[in-house]
Amino acid sequence: MAVWKQFIDAPPPPALTFSTSAVEVTQDALILDVKRCRKRCLEFCADDLPVLSPLDQIEEVHDCELGDFVFIDAPYSSFINQYGYSGKGFYHSCLARWLLHVNVITWSQVTHRLNATAHLPHSCLRKPLEIIEACWEDPADRKLSCNSLLGLWCKKRKLYNVTTSRCELDAPAGDSLKRMIFYGEDKTVYDWVQEVSIKGPQTKYPIWLLVMCSEACRVGQAIWILEKLGCPKKSLCECKTDSIAFRVPKEEARGYQEGDW
């Protein structure tokens, strides 16, 4: 239960969204987009897929060795300045390797790790993803089907309990949605609806976190590449999960569009 509470129930990393000013179509701005990012992060994942066991334990890091997942406790300013890092929490090792490489974090800030008991081959989901996409003719539906699948893997299972009474003092403890039903002569029935999370022996959250960390890694690398090309961070206008809008001088825009770098 310790791993479930500290890892599965931990707050997920926030979406990588950023805006300094809205970009109009008529403005001199370009967009760097990681095409089909989340689907390809899973389809072409370089790391084997972790399969956790109830017996797996979170351990402290003292030997400069990463696990499948690591807890990073480093100061946070913005994911733009820190190349995809979004604050204290658990990350897949793919993002941790990148953050160490660009000196956003140090080994002293990698405090804990979690290794999975078993692993599936990194390419094992390529065929299922192909089958899912083949069911749709519209490219937009193909993208949505894979992204929806990943969204379901993060969604926690819920059920709803209903407490009914004629006495308002029977309200259950905690948050609830209250409903009053009037009937007869001045008679009332009260319903209190409460949402309850279902905790079972299985979850897809580790795979979802792997994909989100891979996406953050690609966005961080895109920011780093733009910077190396001479595009300062102050020219970045917007970031929406896996695409970055940035402004460049008119005379340089063609070079970026044609990949002259």
Q: Tens place of pLDDT for every residue, the chain, 261 residues?
A: 678 888 988 888 888 888 876 655 546 678 888 888 889 998 999 999 999 988 899 999 999 999 999 999 999 999 999 999 999 999 999 999 999 999 999 999 999 999 999 999 999 999 999 999 999 999 999 999 999 998 888 877 778 899 999 999 999 998 999 999 998 888 899 999 998 877 777 889 999 999 999 999 999 999 999 988 888 888 888 888 888 888 876 666 566 655 544
- Whether residue 210 contacts residue 50, with contact meaning beta carbons closer than 8 Å, is answered with yes
Same domain, 12 and 65: yes
Report pTM: 0.81
Same domain, 73 and 193: no
In the sheet with 29-33, reading across from the earlier edge strand, the strands are 17-19, 236-240, 243-247, 29-33
Got the DSSP string for 158-203?
EEEEEEEES-GGGPPSS--EEEEEEETTTEEEEEEEEEEE---S--
pLDDT of residue 230: 84
Same domain, 230 and 134: yes
| Cα of 153 vs its chain's centroid, Å | 11
Same domain, 240 and 142: yes
Same domain, 80 and 168: no
pLDDT of residue 240: 86
Residue 60 burial (10 A CB sphere; 0-12, 13-18, 19+): exposed
pLDDT of residue 261: 47
Distance CA 212, CA 205 (A): 10
Distance CA 143, CA 229 (A): 30
Same domain, 143 and 243: yes
Same domain, 115 and 210: yes
Which of 133, 154, 118, 136 shows the shortest CA–CA distance to 40? 133
pLDDT of residue 238: 85
- Whether residue 120 contacts residue 51, with contact meaning beta carbons closer than 8 Å, is answered with yes
pLDDT of residue 73: 96
Same domain, 146 and 228: yes
Same domain, 115 and 22: yes
Q: How many domains does the chain have?
A: 2
Same domain, 84 and 185: no
pLDDT of residue 99: 97
Tell me which residue range forms the domain holding 181.
Answer: 158-197
Distance CA 141, CA 149 (A): 12
pLDDT of residue 107: 96
Same domain, 29 and 89: yes
Same domain, 106 and 218: yes
Distance CA 35, CA 70 (A): 27
